[in-house]
Chains A and B, each alone.
Chain A
Amino acid sequence: MRLTAGMCPALTQDVIEKLRECNIKNILDFMKTDPEVLAMKASISYRDLCSIRRVIIAHSAAFVVRGEDLLKEAITATKVIPTGTAELDRVLGGGVLTGEVVELCGGWGVGKSSLCVTLATHAALRLGLSVLYIDPLNSISALRFTPIIEKLSEDAGTVEEALSRIKVESPADVWGLLKALDLVQQPYLSFGRFNTGGCSRFNSNNPSGKIKLVILDSLASILTPLFIGSTKQELGMINQLAAALKSLACEQEVAIVVVNNVVQADYGKRRKRNDVYDEWKPALGRFWESVPHTRLFIQRLPNSIRQHTKKLPTSHAQNMQDSMTVNISVWKSTRLKRTVSMKAQNPEVNISRSSDEMRRVLVPCLLSVP
């Protein structure tokens, strides 16, 4: 951000000295001043100043893209990644879209992580896509993936190949997370024995091995340790992270799925006037509310609680028989129609509503065996 000699032929050390005398030390100060005024004040030629400005703009400002070019690019680049569950696909209007950030929020134990695992395996196995699974809590392992894959396909070689397409990262903090996100920018990734370029039929979707789906489970676990101390610091960090996620999704054409928790929306006597959430609202604060493109709220149906707490046998195969019914509603979306969020204390309301407002999704519930 500092003005350095050599950035532009017109920007000599001499010129930099003159600018410093006029109190212009970095690029922003330079751009804020009118070149005509500056030319007179610092006795630098107007033409030189304009050419320096042009270099700065070319380097740091946004590129202009024509609407029609943007459209052409969007038509070819945007891909829909089906989630593997038909009902969820219907809620999302086909699946997760590349270039979008989808947030899954819900209470503890509703199945957000299970849903992420299903999503990742479906993408890796059925669609042949490379997946980056960011798991700061270190809560998943190959054990968690294998049962789903084995259920979907029988071939052991296929299982290994699919697992090789899922890259798991476990960053310990935000900066580790930002570094892990850099992996998405690599154009060609090969991990595992089965490199792309082979004649496997699964690779037709993704010939270069570039990551197409990023799953972050969960964001709250990375950011909550930062919440002590100054609130402003954490907001600055959330802002930076949000910008990084969204720009990554746009520029690298990946779909990003983020997991978040929910907190109580009611403050007792201080009900905010504009509050649109009845009982629960997404964690991470108000700034984060406007960040994702789509926000899905997952809620377990009351009548399935009994199933969930049932003592389960230890083998994986039998675990697969149990499934949990959840409701997934759209809390916010830039493109989907918003559905009403449900009040959890009235189970009758849940059941009596028509099915096009609430989607019942069957999620295979995996309890990992320690």
Chain B
Amino acid sequence: MSKTPTTKPLLGGLGCHIPPADLIQLDPHLLPGGPQPGEVIELTGGSNCGKSSLAQHLIATALLPHTWRGIKTGGCGAVVMLVDCDLHFSILQLENRMQKRIKQCLRLGKDALKKRKLGQQAEENVIVDEEELRKLLHSDKGSIKNEIISLVKQCLQSLSYLRCTNSTQYAITLLSLEEYMMEQNGVSLLVIDSLSAYSWYDRVYRAKSWAKLKDYYNGIFTTVMTCIKKYSVVLIATKGILFSKKFLEDDYRDKSRLQTDLKEDGEMKDPEEDMEGVSERELFGNVWASNVTHRIILSLQHNPAGNVIGQNEDSFSERNDTSSVSNVTPGSKDTNANKSLNSTTSCSDRYLYAAEVTVNLNKSKLMYAIHEEGIRWQNK
């Protein structure tokens, strides 16, 4: 169908080991250079911060091909496995977002073609094969739509979905990853959404103390990590916050405030009161905490009412004027191609989120908004 450099695993299930596709293109903004096989990316944040949306966006990027019909679609053409514990995943939404992304790429390709015709310099090499693209654009709207639908359907063939509806199923599924990987063949990305879906159940009904809970999770994650390293899989996991009071600024960055916060709470009796010194970070055990290579903290930065949420130390808190924030095409760092995006949408009426990425003690902060086709990173 398309001249993609990566081949889909045609021999899956026959015991031939297909090497997993690389994920360099996964997200040049969030993960420059792409995640290496065996790396673990943790997305944490409060409720409704876009963790699942970001994870879904990364899944979509991973599933899309590198190129299609002569344009760069910015995907990885990889095989993805999704373990859904939160039960918020909607395949219809994923399909919709993938279709919109392809349409967006087509629009960019069309503009680039026009520019070429006029003799202007194409700002970015969106076009890979001009002939193919021209052929596609000349066909009628109905057949283009059908092509997009069938492309997305084909991409979804590389997605394996596992739904965990209770804590036992979740534990056993994670412990059986070895068998799943052997069966699926060539999985390069494993997404778990979310790790904390059954944490309170586990804490109350399985482990009678925080220490025992840590042991319980250590047991599970040891197996998971061995499996990931063995099959060269990238793991992306979303994690909700369990302890509201001492998350983020207080916990992850400054442990000295832990004790003072414990005493000031006035609302309903907090679970943190008898926490025995467990912090949010260590909740899932040291096996998990030590294996995470990319820690990404998401938070709401700005809501359309003009209120900036949170008095953060950076200059982001003073930025009430969002007109200077522009959209960035997912998958490309070039700003020229983004001008067409900026003209069509205004971002001042969107909720703006911040993603703080920590890799090997290097921190960087990005802003993003959730659009119809997924996540759009904002230029600073």
Residues of A within 8 A of B (CB): 1, 27-28, 31-32, 34, 53-54, 56-57, 60-68, 70-71, 74-75, 78, 99, 227, 231-233, 235-240, 243, 246-247, 249-251, 267-268, 270, 272-276, 285-287, 289-290, 293, 332, 334-335, 338, 340
From A54, A64, A74, A243, B91 is in contact (CB under 8 Å) with A74
Residues of the B chain whose Cβ atoms lie less than 8 Å from the Cβ of A335: 90, 93
Q: Separation in Å of the A26 CB from the closest CB of chain B?
A: 10
Q: Which of B90, B299, B310 has the most CB of A within 10 A?
A: B90
Residues of the A chain whose Cβ atoms lie less than 8 Å from the Cβ of B309: 273-276
Cβ A64 vs Cβ B184 within 8 A: yes
Residues of the A chain whose Cβ atoms lie less than 8 Å from the Cβ of B300: 274, 276
Residues of the A chain whose Cβ atoms lie less than 8 Å from the Cβ of B173: 61-62
Q: Which of B88, B95, B158 has the most CB of A within 10 A?
A: B88
From A268, which residue of chain B is reached at the shortest CB distance?
B266
Check A71/B92 contact, CB under 8 A, given A270-B264, A290-B48.
Answer: yes
Q: Which of A65, A70, A249 has the most CB of B within 10 A?
A: A70
User: Cβ of B176 < 8 Å from any Cβ of A?
Assistant: yes
CB under 8 Å from chain A, chain B span 275-314: 299-300, 303-305, 309-312
Cβ B92 vs Cβ A66 within 8 A: no
Q: Separation in Å of the B137 CB from the closest CB of chain A?
A: 27
Cβ A60 vs Cβ B168 within 8 A: yes
User: Cβ of B161 < 8 Å from any Cβ of A?
Assistant: yes
Question: What are 16 contact pairs spanning A and B, CB under 8 A?
Answer: A1-B168, A57-B172, A64-B162, A66-B159, A67-B160, A68-B157, A71-B95, A243-B201, A247-B166, A251-B165, A270-B264, A273-B309, A273-B310, A274-B300, A287-B242, A334-B88
20 other A-B residue contacts (CB within 8 Å) besides A67-B155, A270-B265, A290-B240: A1-B168, A32-B223, A34-B226, A53-B176, A57-B176, A62-B169, A64-B160, A65-B160, A66-B160, A67-B63, A232-B271, A233-B204, A235-B203, A238-B200, A239-B198, A273-B248, A274-B46, A274-B299, A275-B309, A289-B47
Separation of A236 and B312 alpha carbons in the complex (Å): 33
Q: Separation in Å of the B83 CB from the closest CB of chain A?
A: 7
Residues of the B chain whose Cβ atoms lie less than 8 Å from the Cβ of A236: 200-201, 203-205
Q: Separation in Å of the B243 CB from the closest CB of chain A?
A: 9
Cβ B169 vs Cβ A60 within 8 A: yes
Cβ B176 vs Cβ A61 within 8 A: yes
Q: B163-184: contact bitstring with A at CB < 8 Å (1 yes, 0 no)?
A: 1111111011101100110011
Residues of the A chain whose Cβ atoms lie less than 8 Å from the Cβ of B242: 287
Residues of the A chain whose Cβ atoms lie less than 8 Å from the Cβ of B305: 340
Q: Separation in Å of the B87 CB from the closest CB of chain A?
A: 4
From A70, A75, A235, A273, B161 is in contact (CB under 8 Å) with A70
Cβ A239 vs Cβ B175 within 8 A: no
User: Cβ of B76 < 8 Å from any Cβ of A?
Assistant: no
Q: B238-258: contact bitstring with A at CB < 8 Å (1 yes, 0 no)?
A: 001110110111000000000
Separation of A237 and B156 alpha carbons in the complex (Å): 36
Cβ B172 vs Cβ A28 within 8 A: yes
Q: Separation in Å of the B380 CB from the closest CB of chain A?
A: 21
Residues of B within 8 A of A (CB): 46-48, 52, 63, 83, 86-88, 90-93, 95, 153, 155-169, 171-173, 175-176, 179-180, 183-184, 197-201, 203-205, 219-220, 222-223, 226, 240-242, 244-245, 247-249, 264-271, 273, 299-300, 303-305, 309-312, 351
Residues of the B chain whose Cβ atoms lie less than 8 Å from the Cβ of A332: 47-48
Cβ A64 vs Cβ B180 within 8 A: yes
From B88, B90, B244, B303, A276 is in contact (CB under 8 Å) with B303
Q: Separation in Å of the B319 CB from the closest CB of chain A?
A: 17
Q: Separation in Å of the B181 CB from the closest CB of chain A?
A: 11
Cβ B158 vs Cβ A67 within 8 A: yes
Q: Separation in Å of the A230 CB from the closest CB of chain B?
A: 8
From B156, B200, B271, A67 is in contact (CB under 8 Å) with B156
Check A64/B183 contact, CB under 8 A, given A243-B166, A289-B48.
Answer: yes
Cβ B160 vs Cβ A31 within 8 A: no
Separation of A238 and B204 alpha carbons in the complex (Å): 11
From A233, which residue of chain B is reached at the shortest CB distance?
B204
Residues of the A chain whose Cβ atoms lie less than 8 Å from the Cβ of B351: 338
Q: Separation in Å of the B236 CB from the closest CB of chain A?
A: 17
Cβ A74 vs Cβ B92 within 8 A: yes
Check A232/B204 contact, CB under 8 A, given A62-B83, A340-B305.
Answer: yes
From B250, which residue of chain A is reached at the shortest CB distance?
A273
From B168, which residue of chain A is reached at the shortest CB distance?
A60
From B179, B249, B268, A54 is in contact (CB under 8 Å) with B179
Q: Give the 8 A-B residue pairs with the shortest CB-CB distance, closest first.
A: A236-B204, A67-B159, A67-B156, A247-B165, A290-B47, A62-B162, A31-B175, A239-B200
From A28, A99, A232, A293, B200 is in contact (CB under 8 Å) with A232
Residues of the B chain whose Cβ atoms lie less than 8 Å from the Cβ of A239: 198-201, 204
Q: Separation in Å of the A3 CB from the closest CB of chain B?
A: 13
Cβ B92 vs Cβ A78 within 8 A: yes
Cβ B88 vs Cβ A293 within 8 A: yes
Q: Which of A251, A270, A334 has the most CB of B within 10 A?
A: A334
Separation of A1 and B248 alpha carbons in the complex (Å): 37
Residues of the B chain whose Cβ atoms lie less than 8 Å from the Cβ of A56: 172, 176
Cβ B87 vs Cβ A246 within 8 A: yes
From B91, B222, B310, A71 is in contact (CB under 8 Å) with B91
From B175, which residue of chain A is reached at the shortest CB distance?
A31
Residues of the A chain whose Cβ atoms lie less than 8 Å from the Cβ of B165: 243, 246-247, 250-251
Cβ B303 vs Cβ A340 within 8 A: yes
Q: Separation in Å of the B172 CB from the closest CB of chain A?
A: 5
Cβ B90 vs Cβ A250 within 8 A: no
Residues of the B chain whose Cβ atoms lie less than 8 Å from the Cβ of A67: 63, 91, 155-161
Cβ A66 vs Cβ B172 within 8 A: no
Separation of A240 and B168 alpha carbons in the complex (Å): 12
Residues of the B chain whose Cβ atoms lie less than 8 Å from the Cβ of A338: 48, 351
From B155, B159, B162, B223, A63 is in contact (CB under 8 Å) with B162
From B194, which residue of chain A is reached at the shortest CB distance?
A290
Residues of the B chain whose Cβ atoms lie less than 8 Å from the Cβ of A285: 268
From A273, which residue of chain B is reached at the shortest CB distance?
B310
From A288, which residue of chain B is reached at the shortest CB distance?
B47
Residues of the A chain whose Cβ atoms lie less than 8 Å from the Cβ of B184: 64
Separation of A211 and B199 alpha carbons in the complex (Å): 31
Separation of A247 and B197 alpha carbons in the complex (Å): 12
